[in-house]
Chain A
Amino acid sequence: MELLLSAPNRRLLKLYAVICFVFLSIPVLLLVPISFGQGNAISFPPQKLSFEWYTSLVSDPRWGKAAFLSLQVGLLATLFATVAGVLAAVGIARVENAKLAKFLKITFIAPMIVPLMVIGVGLYIVFAKLGLLGAVWPLALAHAIVVLPFVVMPVMSRLSSLDPALERASASLGAGQWRTLVFVTVPLLIPAIIASALFVFVFSFDEVVLAQLLAGPRFETLPRKIYDSLSQNGLDKSITSIASIQLYLVLACLGFYALWQWRQKRVASALVLATAAAKSAPVAPPSSASSSVSQSGKTLPMKNASALAVQATSSETTAENRGFGIQFQRLTKYYGNKAVVEDVNFSIEPGEFLTILGPSGSGKTTLLMLIAGFASPDAGRLMLGSRDISQVPPHQRDIGVVFQSYALFPHMTVAQNVAYPLKARGVPKAEQERLVKWALDRVHMGQYADRRIPQLSGGQQQRIALARSISFSPRALLMDEPLSALDRNLRIEMQREIRSLQRELGQTVIFVTHDQEEALNMSDRVAVMNEGRIQQVATPKDLYLSPANSFVADFFGESNLFRGIADGSRLTLDGRALPLPASRSGQAIICVRPEAIRLDDVQAPEWAFDGTVTDARFLGSLLRIQLQTDLGPVVVTRQTDGLSVAPNVGDVRKISWAPAMSHTMAD
Chain B
Amino acid sequence: MAEIEVTEHIAQPAKPARKAGTAWGRQRNRTTVWLMGLPTVGMIVLFLAPIMVLVWMSFGGGTAAPAFAGYAALMQPVYLRLLGFTLQLAIFSTIICAVLAYPIAYLMVNIRSRINLWLGVALFISLWLSFLARTFSWIIILQRRGVVNNLLVNLGLTDQPLELVYNKLGVYIGMVHILLPFMVITLVPAMKAIDPSYVRAGLSLGASPAKVFRQIYLPLSLPGLVAGSMLVFTLSFGFFITPAILGGGRAPTIVLAIRDQIQQMGDLQLAASTSIVLLVICLALLIIYDRVSGVDKLYHRGGR
Which residues of A line the B interface, CB within 8 A? 1-6, 10, 13-14, 16-18, 20-21, 23-28, 30-31, 34, 42, 44, 80, 83-85, 87-88, 90-92, 94-96, 102, 104-119, 121-126, 141-142, 144-145, 148, 152-153, 156-157, 160-161, 171, 176-178, 181, 198-199, 202, 205-206, 208-209, 212-213, 223, 226-227, 230-231, 235, 239-240, 242-243, 246-247, 250-251, 253-254, 330, 332, 334, 339, 342-343, 373-380, 391-394
B54 → A minimal CB distance (Å): 4
B145 → A minimal CB distance (Å): 9
- Residues in A with CB closer than 8 Å to B83 are none
B298 interface hit (Cβ, 8 Å):
yes
User: CA of A176 to CA of B180 in the docked complex: distance in angstroms?
Assistant: 44
CB-based contact B23/A391 at 8 Å = yes
Between-chain CB contacts (< 8 Å), 21 pairs: A1-B199, A13-B106, A25-B126, A28-B137, A44-B150, A87-B36, A95-B32, A96-B29, A112-B231, A113-B286, A115-B255, A118-B276, A145-B43, A181-B31, A243-B132, A243-B136, A250-B125, A330-B6, A330-B9, A373-B22, A394-B24
CB-based contact B137/A27 at 8 Å = yes
Contact (A379, B140) CB under 8 Å given A24-B180, A110-B47 = no
Q: Identify the stretch in B74-82, B112-120, B154-162 within 8 Å (CB) of chain A at 4 or more residues.
A: B112-120
User: CA of A102 to CA of B286 in the docked complex: distance in angstroms?
Assistant: 13
The 6 closest A-B pairs by CB, nearest first: A115-B238, A122-B50, A243-B133, A88-B39, A376-B22, A91-B35
User: CA of A123 to CA of B181 in the docked complex: distance in angstroms?
Assistant: 29
- Residues in A with CB closer than 8 Å to B259 are 117, 209, 212-213
A interface secondary structure, majority: helix
User: CA of A195 to CA of B126 in the docked complex: distance in angstroms?
Assistant: 15
A354 → B minimal CB distance (Å): 23
Mask for B56-97, Cβ within 8 A of A = 1, else 0?
A: 010000000000000000000000000000000000000000
User: CA of A53 to CA of B304 in the docked complex: distance in angstroms?
Assistant: 47
- Residues in B with CB closer than 8 Å to A209 are 240-241, 255, 259
A86 → B minimal CB distance (Å): 9
- Residues in B with CB closer than 8 Å to A176 are 27
- Residues in B with CB closer than 8 Å to A17 are 103-104, 107, 113, 115, 119
Report the tally of A-B residue pairs with Cβ distances under 8 A.
341
Contact (A378, B18) CB under 8 Å given A83-B38, A109-B286 = yes
CB-based contact B31/A378 at 8 Å = no
B284 → A minimal CB distance (Å): 10
B222 interface hit (Cβ, 8 Å):
no
In chain B, positions 186-220 with a C-beta closer than 8 Å to chain A are 196, 199-200, 203, 209, 212-213, 217
B265 interface hit (Cβ, 8 Å):
no
B62 → A minimal CB distance (Å): 9
- Residues in A with CB closer than 8 Å to B255 are 115-117, 209
Contact (A106, B141) CB under 8 Å given A17-B115, A393-B27 = no
Across the interface, A28 reaches (CB within 8 A) one of B37, B42, B125, B213, namely B125
Q: Specify which of A26, A377, A378 lies most central, judged by the most chain B CB atoms within 10 Å of its CB.
A: A378
Contact (A157, B300) CB under 8 Å given A20-B100, A24-B181, A122-B54 = yes
- Residues in B with CB closer than 8 Å to A113 are 234, 282-283, 285-286
B24 → A minimal CB distance (Å): 5
CB-based contact B299/A177 at 8 Å = no
User: CA of A375 to CA of B24 in the docked complex: distance in angstroms?
Assistant: 8
A90: nearest chain-B partner, CB-CB: B35
B169 interface hit (Cβ, 8 Å):
no
Q: Specify which of B125, B231, B278 lies most central, judged by the most chain A CB atoms within 10 Å of its CB.
A: B125
- Residues in B with CB closer than 8 Å to A95 are 32, 36
